[in-house]
Amino acid sequence: MDYDIIYIGSGNASWQGARFLRKEGLKILIIEESLYGGTCANRGCNSKALLDAPYEIKALTDNFEGVGKSGDFKVDWPALMAFKRKRIANMAPFLDGKFKEYDLDVAHGKGVILDEHTVQVGDEKFTTEKIVIATGLKPVIPDIKGKEFLHDSTDYLDIDELPKHAIIIGAGFVGMEFASILAEAGHESDVIIRGDMALKYFHQPYVQKVIEILKEKNIRFHFNEQVSEVTSNVEINDPESRILNVENAQNCDDLLRDPEAKIDNAPYENGFTVNCESGLSLTGDYVVAAIGRTANVEDIGLENVGLTYTKNGIKVNGHLQTEVPNIYASGDVADTGVAKLVTVAIHHSKYLAKELLGEADEITYPVVPAVAYTIPRIATVGVPAYIADESDEYEVHTIRYGNSYSLELKNDTTAEAKVIVDKDLQIVGAEIYAADAENVANMFAFIINKKITLEELDYMIYAFPSSSSVCLYKLHNIHYDL
């Protein structure tokens, strides 16, 4: 055999574990048809973080309007995009250097599985003892008339200018995070949701808080709508005409009928109309499809070895092993029932390093924090509040830590957490709504995973002032039943 293990895909689901296997003497090949590092490094998490950061700062400075702020905080999008492109352009070469440092072989091109032990890249064929599929997910584009006019997350994370009026189809991570950037930039947008919830995996009262903030900043929401068609070459001169057939719409946001609602009066050409089955029609200059992601497994030869898949990925067992014993799946492409996050992909990759060395039992997962990088943020970790509310096994405690003095110094009293405890008063879950919810979520993840008791937390001394110290201090109310 040419290799001990071949990875198809070069993201965190592969190289994070591959380096350990090479250190143990196994010969490794990583195949990549695009940029080394995959989605997160090149057209996902890192790009979003770079583009979001100035708008996060803007939102924080806006809290001091009238109490210290002087002048407007403006973000120069073209300059920001140039900075993003420069930084992201370094990622693939950086990883190329790391692969050389780790002595990992690489092949550039599309990896196609020919049989259980052979993978083809272009005209070359490589044999291997085991194969790990780590091809991730790709954006879903709805199969509707005019789908060629739709953009996905890769497009908008590399757009030269922010649209004057975006129409966003979908309200998951991608849709809501883009809407937050547009809101802070002072641009209007319409968000179309097929169901009755945005960010459905997050605590809905906190999601509603974010929605209300976005609505105040001229982002409109249309629930229970099904997009049927997108048309192009719409010239918009009259702002009132941007929202068509309102009287026919069944699920129209009340704000659309508000004559006092702000609207961007600048005309634009080459616009688009999005039609919904209800009769609602919306116009804008940019349309984003943000309805989810699906397994990126087309044309990689799964049929040659009898592997099947669904939109959730390739079926695996507790060892991340597919129905073909020597072929595994890692990261987002694996259908494990666990959140499809880069942190989980890293967990998979490290686990597989042990599994492929014969040192692992079935995979287990710590609690996985998830964050929606809206402005403000929402986070969830462990047992969710909606499950706790329906069970006698848990109690839900609300901690309004934003009204403490250390956070009032930031002129923001909205930070809040729902803390879920079991009958032994052990913390098992948390929902967080705050500007820095991601940091508080990580704190709770550590507490839950390590089973740190309220008594132990009460004994500890924390750095002050800080949002985490205030949140932790308020936990003593649960401990002492105050």
One domain, residues 155 and 129: no
Higher pLDDT, 258 or 143: 143
Establish if 366 belongs to a structural domain. no
> Could you tell me if 58 and 107 lie in one domain?
yes
**Cα 158–314–92 angle (5° rounding)?**
35
With respect to residue 189, please indicate whether it lies within any of the assigned structural domains.
yes
Q: Give how far the C-alpha of residue 72 lies from the chain's centroid of Cα atoms, to the nearest Å.
A: 30
pLDDT band of residue 31 (cuts 50, 70, 90) is very high
**Chain segment 438-464, per-residue pLDDT in tens:** 999 999 999 999 999 999 999 999 998
Rounded mean pLDDT, 321-343: 98
CB neighbours of 298 closer than 8 A, spacing ≥ 6?
Answer: none
Phi, then psi, of 145 in degrees rounded to 5: -65, 130
pTM of the model: 0.92
Place 476 in a pLDDT band, splitting at 50, 70 and 90: confident
312 with 281, same domain: the answer is no
Q: One-letter amino acid identity for 444?
A: F
Domain identity same for 152 and 278: yes
Q: Which of 289, 315, 335 is the last residue of a domain?
A: 289
Q: What is the mean pLDDT of residues 140-165?
A: 96
Same domain, 413 and 282: no
Residue 238 pLDDT > 90: no
By residue count, the chain amounts to 482
Q: Residue 236's domain is classified under what CATH number?
A: 3.50.50.60
Model pLDDT for residues 38-68, shown as the tens digit of each residue:
999 999 999 999 999 999 999 999 988 888 8
Residue 234 confidence (pLDDT):
67
Q: Are residues 223 and 258 in the same domain?
A: yes
Shared domain for 230 and 96, answered yes or no, is no
Q: What is the pLDDT of residue 291?
A: 97
The confidence score (pLDDT) of residue 269 equals 64
In a domain, 60, yes or no: yes
User: What is the number of structural domains in the chain?
Assistant: 3
Q: What is residue 236's predicted lDDT score, i.e. its pLDDT?
A: 59
Q: Which of 268, 289, 310 corresponds to the end of one domain? A: 289
- Can you tell me the mean pLDDT for 187-195? 96
Secondary structure class of 424 (helix, strand, coil):
coil
Q: Residue 10 falls within a domain, yes or no?
A: yes
Burial environment of residue 471 by CB neighbours within 10 A (0 to 12, 13 to 18, 19 or more): buried
**Domain co-membership, 315 together with 262:** no
Read off the CATH number of the domain in which 465 is found. Answer: 3.30.390.30
Quick one: tokens of 441? 């979520």
Judgement on whether residues 176 and 200 belong to the same structural domain of the protein: yes
Please classify residue 459 by burial: count the beta carbons closer than 10 Å to its beta carbon, then call 0-12 exposed, 13-18 middle and 19+ buried.
exposed
Q: What is the mean pLDDT of residues 351-355?
A: 98
pLDDT, mean over the chain: 91
Q: What is the pLDDT of residues 245-300, one digit of tens each?
A: 344 334 445 444 333 434 444 455 678 999 999 999 999 999 999 999 999 999 99
Q: Which residue has the higher pLDDT, 4 or 281?
A: 4
Cα(392)–Cα(404) distance, integer angstroms: 31
Of 269, 289, 309, which closes a domain?
A: 289
pLDDT of residue 398: 95
Report if residue 37 sits inside a domain.
yes
Q: Are 59 and 435 in contact (CB under 8 A)?
A: yes
Positions of E strands within 322-463: 327-329, 334-335, 370-372, 377-382, 394-399, 416-422, 427-434
- Let me know whether 265 and 158 are in one domain: yes
**What is the Cα Rg of the chain in Å?**
24
Q: Has residue 330 been placed in a domain?
A: yes
Per the structure, the complete domain to which residue 240 belongs is given by 147-289
Mean pLDDT of all residues in 301-328: 97
Do 126 and 208 reside in the same domain of the chain? no
Q: Span 221-227, mean pLDDT?
A: 96
CA distance 279 to 471: 47
Smallest CA-to-CA distance from 190 within 123, 293, 279, 263 is with: 263
Of the chain, the percentage scoring pLDDT greater than 70 comes to 91
- Asked, for residue 368, whether it belongs to a domain, the answer is no
pLDDT for the residue numbered 482:
63
Query: Is the confidence at residue 237, as pLDDT, over 70?
Result: no
Q: What is the pLDDT of residue 235?
A: 63
281, 312: one domain: no
Domain-located, residue 273? yes
